Structure 1
């Protein structure tokens, strides 16, 4: 396991990983080191065939307060090309998270500002507390949410993205759920119980089928049902029906038994 300074990557023996933003004293604010480590962590998760899905969380009171002030001060002193390199590293992080082959679930509490909305938007699903606070705050300091904008627009729609990017208004977890940024929002004292519920629900599903679903939805999400899309979908269902997990799932259903990917116990503690 990789040793990180700004993150913790925990692998649960049931078959999933939790990636913690762990700069609690800085409210999990981004800096260049955290971005580099997040890229490395996603690469490690992608390369582990035993990880079925990823949960992304923040230690402490806040999910992430956005960009670190010291890092932003350094950026202000850099030339265009060095800033471009920084932007490319952040973009690599966001695109790698969005393209991760396994399902991703963000869990949000406290503040989620600036680039944190990019991380949340790049995940497949997100849950959080009613009183979480979200903000595309960049225009308040003379910037724009450039790198994260494609993911935010995809998550909440162009009209809402225009409003919140141009006004820099803060909005709550309940509003984030209405916009589609969060799948669900909960009372703060119910969050951990709900995380456990989401984890248990994902563990019921075929790991291979979840990966295949991500590939399928990525392929069909932007286009009309063209002849090429139709052929892709026909091939997708044929491939998964004859796959080992597809065969196991069908047999288990017909035989009224539990499929083999649900056989892991649900009470083991995660390992660091």
Structure 2
């Protein structure tokens, strides 16, 4: 059914949605974004599903945006960039409001948009050797479309430690920042995820869905106005000389003009 994802369900009603572009470090292509939207709809509508685990195959959980997608954005006009950013925003919004518990199982690194995906999980467990980072400003871009979800997860004060610097941080700091609930050895990841899944199987599914919706309502507002603002900020940044220089330098494998060392 999907080209970039795997979707399975066990007898308990636990679904596993797996990012499946291991050769591309599960970077998000346009196709993957649309398939994640379709999967989110399917998971939301299937009353037999009690819990969803979001996992990935390969060495990385998600490396962010696909390179081919990024190259296409270089040549696109503002309207096209806004449309593509909205696809990402809508996917994140659908996972963020999924009426089932969403448990992230991060078996590897997460950068850029991958941090955004981790941020919409109700609980994210990661392996203790992973690295994470909001790396957009190295390219002259900003973590705009994922921003509302990252800020909601970390809070503004903690987010500002890593939101603008593009520095990488380890699993222990990801826990401190609130991105990960726990960091565990690789061979303990499955057990740690199961420990998060199991309690929900004793809960009333409708009550769980209502409680999650209430928590989301009481938390930071992520409505159309906020999403539109994040998309507009990204489109504006794409038009800057810094973005043009940063993305060009990346593909030309050279230092951008502003890099000091």
Q: Distance in 1 between matches of 2:211 and 2:84?
A: 33
Shift of 1:184: 1.2
Shift of 1:190: 1.2
**1:65 pairs with 63, 66, 86, which one?**
63
Q: Distance in 2 between matches of 1:222 and 1:197?
A: 27
**1:194 pairs with 192, 195, 199, which one?**
192
Name the SS of the counterpart of 2:144 in structure 1.
Answer: coil
Q: Conserved in 2, the CA contact under 8 Å of 1:64 and 1:111?
A: yes
Question: Unaligned 5+ residue runs, structure 1?
Answer: 224-272
Shift of 1:163: 2.4
Which shifted more, 35-44 or 190-199? 190-199
Name the SS of the counterpart of 2:46 in structure 1.
Answer: coil
Specify the alignment match of 2:101 in structure 1. Answer: 103
Name the SS of the counterpart of 2:160 in structure 1.
Answer: helix
Give the number of aligned pairs. Answer: 221
Name the SS of the counterpart of 1:165 in structure 2.
Answer: coil
Shift of 1:67: 1.0
Within-5 A mapping of 1:40-79:
40-79=38-77
Within-5 A mapping of 1:1-272:
3-222=1-220
Give TM-score scaled by structure 1 length.
0.78
Name the SS of the counterpart of 1:10 in structure 2.
Answer: strand
Q: Conserved in 1, the CA contact under 8 Å of 2:101 and 2:122?
A: yes
Q: Distance in 2 between matches of 1:222 and 1:146?
A: 16
Q: Distance in 1 between matches of 2:214 and 2:63?
A: 34
Shift of 1:52: 1.0
Q: Distance in 2 between matches of 1:159 and 1:8?
A: 36
Q: Distance in 2 between matches of 1:219 and 1:81?
A: 31
Name the SS of the counterpart of 1:163 in structure 2.
Answer: coil
- Deviation sequence 1:109-155 (CA, Å, 0-9, x none): 22100001111111111111111111100001111110000110111
Q: Distance in 1 between matches of 2:96 and 2:198?
A: 23
Q: Distance in 2 between matches of 1:171 and 1:222?
A: 25
Give TM-score scaled by structure 2 length.
0.81
Q: Distance in 2 between matches of 1:198 and 1:107?
A: 10
Q: Distance in 2 between matches of 1:212 and 1:79?
A: 41
Q: Conserved in 2, the CA contact under 8 Å of 1:138 and 1:165?
A: no
Name the larger-Rg structure.
1
